[in-house]
Amino acid sequence: MLTPTHRGPAGAASLNTRLQQALTPHRDQTPERRYGGRVFRVGDKVTQLRNNYDKGKAGIFNGTVGVVTALSLDEQTLTVLTDEDEQVDYDFAELDELAHAYASTIHRSQGSEYPAVVIPLTTSARPMLRRSLLCTGITRAKKLIILAGSRRALAQAVRTPGAGRRHTALTHRPHPARQASGPQRPAPRDSSSRRCRIHPPARATGWIRQDEADRRATNRHLDRAWPGTGPRTSQQAADVSRLSKALTKCL
């Protein structure tokens, strides 16, 4: 079962609790271990939360899914059989690396495939109902896909193309002083210099301002693109010649 969100009545956390109660309920005389807000029992479907290179033959990685096959209160250990048919033992102190995997978020399922997938769609997950997320969830299924819930929520997910433009302010972070001083007016255009579009070699193309400083910068760029160790090839020399002629025409 794949859900748009982790929280909420139809979120992964709530569904994991309900599905565990239905599939592996508490039974007297059956060992179980509570860790944090989770209860682990034999038969639980679990997933690895972070990479652990000290377990298994070649390490256990984030997203690995398995089933609890044994739990010993005397030895304080829990055994998981992974999808790769590998038995992995966990001390009770390491149970923070595991979480139930009856239900998972669509985001966490990216890169995985399952024979059948059930996706609950409710209006409580409205902020996450997007076409791209729905498409990701549907394409996780190999043979069967079931959409359960509200037609209204499904229609909203289909109509919403994506998250829209993201405002990260990354352009201001390298220059915090620029952000503090407020928006800057563009500098007046210098009529004595012009811009031209040139198309010889790909590494040196672009809009180049034709003044002495930029010509020197262009030469440095060519030196980096073609290290000056040894003579240049005929093709490199031809590219440099084309670039020089294009720059001359712009002056």
**Looking at 7-16, 143-152, 219-228, which range is the least confident one?**
219-228
What pLDDT does residue 17 have?
Answer: 93
pLDDT in tens, 79-102: 999 988 899 999 999 999 999 999
Split at pLDDT 50, 70, 90, the class of 251 is: very low
Other CB atoms closer than 10 Å to residue 6's CB: what's the count?
A: 17
pTM of this structure = 0.61
Split at pLDDT 50, 70, 90, the class of 245 is: low
Cα atoms in the Cβ-side hemisphere of radius 13 Å centred on 154 = 9
What pLDDT does residue 69 have?
Answer: 94
Asked if residue 112 lies in contact with residue 85, where contact means CB atoms within 8 angstroms, the answer is no
Other CB atoms closer than 10 Å to residue 62's CB: what's the count?
A: 12
Does residue 148 carry a pLDDT above 80? Answer: yes
Does residue 70 carry a pLDDT above 80? Answer: yes
The residue count of the chain comes to 251
Split at pLDDT 50, 70, 90, the class of 237 is: low
Split at pLDDT 50, 70, 90, the class of 36 is: confident
Does residue 106 carry a pLDDT above 70? Answer: yes
HEC readout, the chain: CEECCCCCCCCHHHHHHHHHHHHCCCCCCCCEEEECCEEEECCCEEEECCCECCCCCCCECCCCEEEEEEEECCCCEEEEEECCCCEEEEEHHHHHHEEECCCEECCCCCCCCEEEEEEEECHHHHHHCCHHHHHHHHCCEEEEEEEEECHHHHHHHHHCCCCCCCCCCCCCCCCHHHHHHCCCCCCCCCCCCCEEEECCCHHHCEEEECCHHHHHHHHHHHHHHCCCCCCCCHHHHHHHHHHHHHHHHHC
Split at pLDDT 50, 70, 90, the class of 20 is: very high
Share of the chain above pLDDT 70, in %: 64
What pLDDT does residue 207 have?
Answer: 39
pLDDT in tens, 171-191: 666 655 555 555 555 555 554
Q: What is the mean pLDDT of the chain?
A: 78
pLDDT in tens, 197-229: 444 444 434 433 444 555 555 555 555 554 544
Does residue 38 carry a pLDDT above 80? Answer: yes
Average pLDDT over residues 113-142: 91
What pLDDT does residue 211 have?
Answer: 47
Q: Which residue has the higher pLDDT, 139 or 224?
A: 139
What pLDDT does residue 128 have?
Answer: 87
Share of the chain above pLDDT 90, in %: 41
